[in-house]
Structure 1
Amino acid sequence: MSTDRGGMLVTLLPERRRFGRLRLDADIARLLGRGDRLPDGEVGEQAQLARHFQPVPNGWPMAALQRQADCGDASGFRWLRADPVHVRPDINGARLMAWGNLDLDPAEAEALLQALHPVFGDAGMPLTAGAPERWYLQLAIDAPLPDFSPPEQGLGDDLFRHLPEGGQGRRWRALLNEAQILLHNHPINAARAARGRLPANSLWFWGAGVVPEEVRSRLSSVSSSENDVLALATAAGIAVDGAGQGDRLLDLRRERDWRSVEGELSLAGRSEKFATHDSIVLDFADGARWRLRPAQRWRFWRRPMLELGA
């Protein structure tokens, strides 16, 4: 193996089921069949990212990290995301159907925020935005908060299954109910519905915490358009879209076409990525992982892996 290779290329991918039950290209089937299946990791995007970034002290304060990346003013407060979402009522409650892809423009977001300011301002939690669909609640640094589910866990699921219970949860359920009434009746949402656009008719609370002392990672650079990875990289002092030696991360979690993944990795028919990396790790959000190395091509006795699996 050449001594001028870089380190590992970590590729973040969605759950395998997102790609369907396609039959793999012969070259990629052979490469994966000869690769090393690593022990499964925890399921979910948060756990997936936590395999490569470690906030100190322990925790996962994405609201504070992203607020700092968006606005640079997160220190000294506890933060909670309160993102606009679309929920669809059904016979059993309401299901989370859209988060982060409502395409709210800045004027729409500001009008909705203005309507909600009294609800949260009177509760001592100013509500502001870092972007049209990234909304933040600012709390006292020692404010107690219940556990909230990250939105990717709630997509397609009953909203009320993800609301906190108990005494603390009662307060947040009441705040959400008041916010939903205002959003449901807001003319911005009526106008969006009339144009065939999804209304922002609820909020999703998540990511509570304070800015960590540091974020540790063995990565030297990341390539991603996702705000969670960019915020973690910024906090860790990692180059974004940088070249050079060391371990790199390629974020393909939003990809749904496996052929595009093969093209990104240059795995179909040749292994040119290995010219600059001594290994490639495929890290799926369902916890499945593989490590691929150049020397594995000599494992002739290994059978091709015909499908990605569930």
Structure 2
Amino acid sequence: MSHHLLTPFAAASAPECQALLPGLKLPNLQALLARLAEQPADRGDDHQLTPPHERALARALGLPVADGQIPWAAAQSEAPTVPQAWFSLCHYQVGMEQVTLLPGAQLVLDDADSHALFEAFEPLCAEDGLTLRRESATEWHASGEPLRGIACASLDRVSGRMVDAWLAESPANPAGARLLKRLQSEAQMLFYTHPAHDARTARGLLPVNGFWVHGAGALAAPPALAEAPDMPDTLRQAALRGDWAGWQQAWQALDAGEIAALLAAAQRGEPVTLTLCGERHARTWTTAPAGAFARLGRSIKHLFGTTPVSDTLKDL
């Protein structure tokens, strides 16, 4: 049995997170990395549309990987060759010189408000050749030819950040990109004048005033998806909230839980894989070969000492 643990936001680029790394005590992670052999890393930068954990997950599943063009919506549908995308409802927080996106998870949006907004917005999409359906209160599914070739930033990239830096161009389909920007503008005006806006404001809730497009694309053929790795979400949730004390606590729990279990499996001789993802890079370690040369390499590694966990996490 093979075990693969994929960890999003094992580190983040925020200065508050970087300041915590030297004091982070993760003994099970340190012991596990000492037993495993590192594979070639997926190196990128903070400005790529697709974050490292989504690139790593797509590769593990066997999906095509291109920046801003991992077809998440199509991969989960019954007609994956049709261009599709997720429209995630959000709140655009407007400041003096910036617009920041707060995702639907922070909106406390119920089905009644979501359904009312959907009924108002769906005809506009239909006029432009897009079929829209509700998957949940905050996640709507769009499909149609205008989405083919669209590049868009992951919701994890833009959440809590200024949106201007993440409005991607789509050279393969500039007309489709213009259509989506127009629909986003129309949604802002429509949602602002909708009765749900004032009703939510009166209840002290953030109004829905837009949506974010992500996970767009189509597949050439129905995918034969591989088994998904285990992917704990606690570090990611804390990082997206900017809750760095919570992020530190989540790492302690992860080290005592999933990491300890992976270490125990490696000690039993079972094949294991660990992928740590930051906001730039994804680094992967797997069970080291059992041959004499590999044992010699591990002996040399132990002789000179292993890299501190903090240094490993800084290089994510």
Which shifted more, 163-172 or 76-85?
163-172
Q: Structure 1 residues 206, 265: closer, same or farther in 2, change over 3 A?
A: closer
The residue that corresponds to 2:153 in the other structure is 149
Q: Structure 1 residues 87, 29: closer, same or farther in 2, change over 3 A?
A: same
In structure 2, stretches of 5+ residues that fail to align are 45-50, 236-246
The residue that corresponds to 1:36 in the other structure is 37
The residue that corresponds to 2:255 in the other structure is 262
Q: Structure 1 residues 193, 280: closer, same or farther in 2, change over 3 A?
A: same
Tell me how far 1:121 sits from its aligned partner: 2.3
Residues 56 and 282 in structure 2, CA contact (< 8 A), matched pair in contact too:
no
Residues 34 and 304 in structure 1, CA contact (< 8 A), matched pair in contact too:
no
What amino acid is the match of 1:15? F
Residues 64 and 79 in structure 1, CA contact (< 8 A), matched pair in contact too:
yes
Within 1, Cα distance between the matches of 2:133 and 2:166?
Answer: 23
What amino acid is the match of 1:196? G
TM-score normalised according to structure 1 size: 0.72
Residues 78 and 208 in structure 1, CA contact (< 8 A), matched pair in contact too:
yes
What amino acid is the match of 1:16? A
Residues 12 and 283 in structure 1, CA contact (< 8 A), matched pair in contact too:
yes
Within 2, Cα distance between the matches of 1:167 and 1:292?
Answer: 44
Residues 97 and 155 in structure 1, CA contact (< 8 A), matched pair in contact too:
yes
Q: Structure 1 residues 28, 81: closer, same or farther in 2, change over 3 A?
A: closer
Residue 183 (str. 1) matches residue 191 (str. 2): yes
The residue that corresponds to 2:91 in the other structure is 86
CA deviations 1:206-230 (Å, max 9, x no partner) are 222235524355x5x44xxxxxxxx
Tell me how far 1:201 sits from its aligned partner: 1.3
Q: Structure 1 residues 280, 49: closer, same or farther in 2, change over 3 A?
A: closer
Residues 88 and 103 in structure 2, CA contact (< 8 A), matched pair in contact too:
no
CA deviations 1:111-170 (Å, max 9, x no partner) are 110121232222232322122222122314x76554222222222333233334555433
Within 1, Cα distance between the matches of 2:269 and 2:195?
Answer: 54
Which shifted more, 99-108 or 296-305?
296-305
Which residue of 136, 139, 144 corresponds with 1:139?
A: 144
The residue that corresponds to 2:239 in the other structure is none
Which residue of 269, 283, 289 corresponds with 1:289?
A: 283
TM-score normalised according to structure 2 size: 0.71
Residues 100 and 163 in structure 2, CA contact (< 8 A), matched pair in contact too:
yes
The residue that corresponds to 1:236 in the other structure is none
Residues 81 and 222 in structure 2, CA contact (< 8 A), matched pair in contact too:
no
What amino acid is the match of 1:190? D
Structure having the larger proportion of residues in strand: 1
- Tell me the number of residue pairs that the alignment of Structure 1 and Structure 2 aligns: 269
Partner SS for 1:16: coil
**TM-align CA RMSD:** 3.2
Structure having the larger proportion of residues in helix: 2
Partner SS for 2:313: coil
